[in-house]
Chains A and B, each alone.
Chain A
């Protein structure tokens, strides 16, 4: 059986035409001369055909409209004035930048995410916790999310960084008292509910911004 390991990959390539002509000739020879290879080819072919036969899913018109409007909303409806939104985005993009209190002492930075889905909030909290813990949790996808504003490589008509506004906007105020040890405060609105999360290297504590009562993580 182990002697067939390489040959089985060759045979597997027959399903779906993933071989060059020379490999295909050899694979066909194996399929016709070896029971194990023939069985392997059958299995590979059946799975491939099964996957190809799965009906292609389609978005409904409503879902498509939701995607379009969500992209526009994320661009234009971050909470607070657009200048504050730009500041929040820049904070996320370049890493966490500490805000300064009135007396000049360093305060925990506040990241205002605006309207997000539960999944997006969970992703951002995961990323921030990992970052605070000194890890490198960020995936390519999250890098995609954090990069553009820093690079200024955006083609959108309503460019966020115009006018150096990020330097003028005051940081949003956290509505609840931060627990000891928290190093980043995150504000977000999920399904219309305002939430605040306090991030530390050990994790994130999620509170309802109105009552300051703990809520389950999204």
Chain B
């Protein structure tokens, strides 16, 4: 996995003082970095903060980027760290995260997850699962990255990524009212596993 030659050229130009190189790097990678941050944080303003921190880190550390790895992987790693950090801080400062007695969604919803009108429910559920699981499932399922790249980004073994992805999907299914592997059994109260 080596860096894209275009990215290498832009980094070299940036190091040489080319003022157009950095905006071009933001143009090339900004949306995907923002996508990672927004899926993890579920809040556009916070995601913008995390995206800004990510590119500020690139701005300061472009010279130390190792060319044998993909720039996008390096950016995702910084973006995930920034987002997880912001998420933890936000949760520490929140006094009331969810109202008591949050109503479970319609159980039939899980059968129609791809429907556009259910996206907010899925996004809400995504925001409610533990951030380590959220980061893994965002990288693998929402961004369609391979397990190896996700493991590299998260700094954990591939097996751990797999486990987190499976657990994340089960959490999400439960929150959407469809307990995995338990059809017909007692239904857990959604949103209980924060």
Residue numbers of A with Cβ under 8 A of B are 1, 4, 8-9, 12-13, 15-16, 18, 35-37, 39-40, 43-44, 46-59, 63-64, 66-68, 70-72, 74-75, 117, 119-120, 122-123, 126, 139-142, 144-145, 148-149, 151, 153-157, 217
- Known A12-B166, A57-B34, A144-B78: A68·B114 in contact at CB below 8 Å: no
C-alpha gap A141/B75 in the complex (Å): 12
CB-based contact A16/B141 at 8 Å: yes
CB-based contact A120/B49 at 8 Å: yes
Residue numbers of B with Cβ under 8 A of A are 11, 14-15, 17, 22-23, 26-27, 30-31, 34-35, 38-39, 44, 46-49, 51-53, 55-64, 78, 81-82, 84-86, 88-89, 93, 110-111, 113-114, 118-119, 122-123, 126, 137-138, 140-142, 144, 147, 155, 162-163, 165-166, 169-170, 172-173, 178, 180-183
Q: Which residues of B contact A144 (CB under 8 A)?
A: 57, 61, 78, 81
- Known A58-B31, A139-B85, A155-B15: A71·B140 in contact at CB below 8 Å: no
CB-based contact B63/A9 at 8 Å: no
Chain B contact residues: helix, strand, loop or mixed: helix
Q: Which residues of A contact B14 (CB under 8 A)?
A: 155
- Residue of B17, B46, B172 with most chain A CB atoms under a 10 A cut-off: B172
CB-based contact B85/A141 at 8 Å: yes
25 intermolecular pairs with C-beta atoms under 8 Å apart: A9-B163, A18-B165, A43-B178, A44-B170, A44-B180, A47-B110, A54-B119, A54-B122, A57-B35, A57-B38, A58-B31, A59-B34, A67-B26, A71-B55, A72-B22, A117-B52, A123-B89, A144-B81, A145-B53, A148-B60, A148-B64, A154-B62, A155-B62, A156-B59, A156-B62
